[in-house]
Structure formats: C-alpha cells, structure tokens
Amino acid sequence: MPAMASLSVRVVGVGDAFTARYHNACLLFETRSTRLLVDAPPALARALRDLSVAHPQEPPVSLDDIDHVLITHLHGDHVGGLEQLLFWRRFVTGKKANLYAVPEVLAGLWETRLRGGMETLIDAPGGPPRTLGLEDYAFVHPLGPGENAIGDVALAHRPTIHHIPTSAIRVRAGERVIGYSADTAFDPTLIDWLSASDVFFHETNLGVHTPLASLAGLPGEVRARMRLIHYPDFLDVETSPILCLREGERIEV
Ligand SMILES: [Zn+2]
C-alpha cells in the first residue's frame, strides 16, 4: 500500500445509453474515508448490488453507503437513478446525501428531471400534500472553479463537447489523480487535460461521441494511461486497441 492517500475507482457500469449488456456508465471513487459516486444511472441499487455480488471479497456497497454523488450531465443514463437514491435516503434511512454538479447542470436537475416525481408528497393516505424542493432531499453543492473539496478528495472539472452542459472531472487524493471524460466528442484539449492524471477513463461511442479510431491514434504514452468506458455493446473488449474498463473491477493509483 502506498504511504500517501490511496485513491481507487470501482467500476459500477461501463455501458452507453442504449446498452442491453451492461449497466450505464457509473464510477465509484474511494479513498479510506470518502465514497464519491459519479453519475447515478437507472436501477442504481441493482447496479450496486451487482458490483457487490460479483466481487464478494470487496466491501458491499448500497445506496446508503454513497455519501457524495456527482452528476456530470442530465441525460437519463447518467441521472435516471438519482430519484431512487434520494428517496431511499429520505424515507428509509433519513440520511441526506451530498449532491454536486456545475451550476448549469443543477439549474435543470430539479426542474427538468426530478420535480415531477418528487415535489409533492403526502405523509399518509388522504393527508395534506406537502411541497418539497431539491434541498429537502440533498445537501446541494454547486461546483466552483478550480478544485472543489469533496470529503478528502479534490475535484477539478471542465466542460466537454456534448449536447447539453457536461463536466469532465479529475479527482485528486494527495498526489494521486484519476480522470474521467464523461460524455464528449473527440477533443484533444480535453485529452491533454485528462492526461494530467495517473490513469483516466474515456468514453467512446458512435454519433456525437468519441470515435475509437481517434483515441487509437493518440500517442502510446497517452493510450497507456487510458481505459475505455461508455462503449457500445458490440465492442469486442478482448481485441480493443485500448484497454476497456470492466464492470466490478477496481482501478487503484
Ligand atoms: Zn450524454
């Protein structure tokens, strides 16, 4: 074990928006005292259970073990499980989670993704309805410029090229850094930024996403620290020119 703060990621999901094979892309960053979930795909509790069942040597993780959750952007494959997480924490265990996103993402999170199912509650059948807001469910933390403290990690972010506001991130614990592109078109400036990590995860897919051929053309020292995520179901992970993240594995730096 390194003497300095260790940093690792457990891979919850590697799939894209249309996957029938995997869980949607989702990462669990861990240090000795901090668990940060990056994105909350649909059926989050199931994804976490699968992570735990497939790797019984690792500590099990449930919705209750996620104290910090960051949303990179508002597409359903990245945010569709947040309602489950927040409802569980409010009604079952009464532990508010800490929720992080850039202001542009937070601005739409409640109004366009959560409000319809979460704003009005009744405590008992026939009882009066109550009106709640996002702050009733979570401690909401808009990400500022530079590094943001989340538990004992420092998180930096920058925008990517995507349909809607989306954040790539670098998570640092001491001298250790792990990066994640989130959803993006091919962007060499983003890859330069992510390359300041010990290891980083990059999406690849069709359409507006990053072509695998573009990543395969990068210098060897960059590719060596890159792992693929958000890849299509048809990608052959055994013959991919860049190593693919696998669900359940732990990447430690
Ligand atoms: Zn997206």
Tens-of-pLDDT digits for all 253 residues of the chain?
444 459 999 999 999 999 999 999 999 999 999 999 999 999 999 999 999 888 888 889 999 999 999 999 999 999 999 999 999 999 999 999 999 999 999 999 999 999 999 999 988 888 899 999 999 999 999 999 999 999 999 999 999 999 999 999 999 999 999 999 999 999 999 999 999 999 999 999 999 999 999 999 999 999 999 999 999 999 999 999 999 999 999 999 9
Which residues fall inside 5 Å of ion ligand 1, going by CB?
75, 183
Ligand 1 center from residue 219 Cα (angstroms):
26
Computed from CA positions of residues 29, 241, 44, 209, in that sequence, does the dihedral angle turn out positive or negative? positive
CA angle 157, 78, 55 (to 5 degrees): 100
Residue 96 identity (one-letter amino acid): K
Structure tokens at 55: 């790797």
219: DSSP letter: -
Query: How far is ligand 1, taken at its centre, from the CA of residue 162, in Å?
Result: 7
As a whole number of angstroms, the distance between CA 91 and CA 216 comes to 47
pTM: 0.95
Token output for 8: 């690792």
C-alpha 183/C-alpha 202 separation (Å) is: 8
CA of 98 to the centre of ligand 1 (A): 22
pLDDT, tens digit (0-9, with 9 covering 90-100), for 6-39: 999 999 999 999 999 999 999 999 999 999 999 9
Q: Give the Cβ contact number of residue 110 at 10 Å.
A: 16
Q: Report d(CA 98, CA 96) in Å as an integer.
A: 7
How far does the centroid of ligand 1 lie from the alpha carbon of residue 122, in Å? 34
Q: Angle CA(144)–CA(149)–CA(153) in degrees, nearest 5?
A: 135
Cα of 245 from ligand 1 centre, angstroms: 18
d(CA 133, CA 106): 12
| Rounded distance from Cα 17 to ligand 1 centre (Å) | 8
Cα of 78 from ligand 1 centre, angstroms: 7
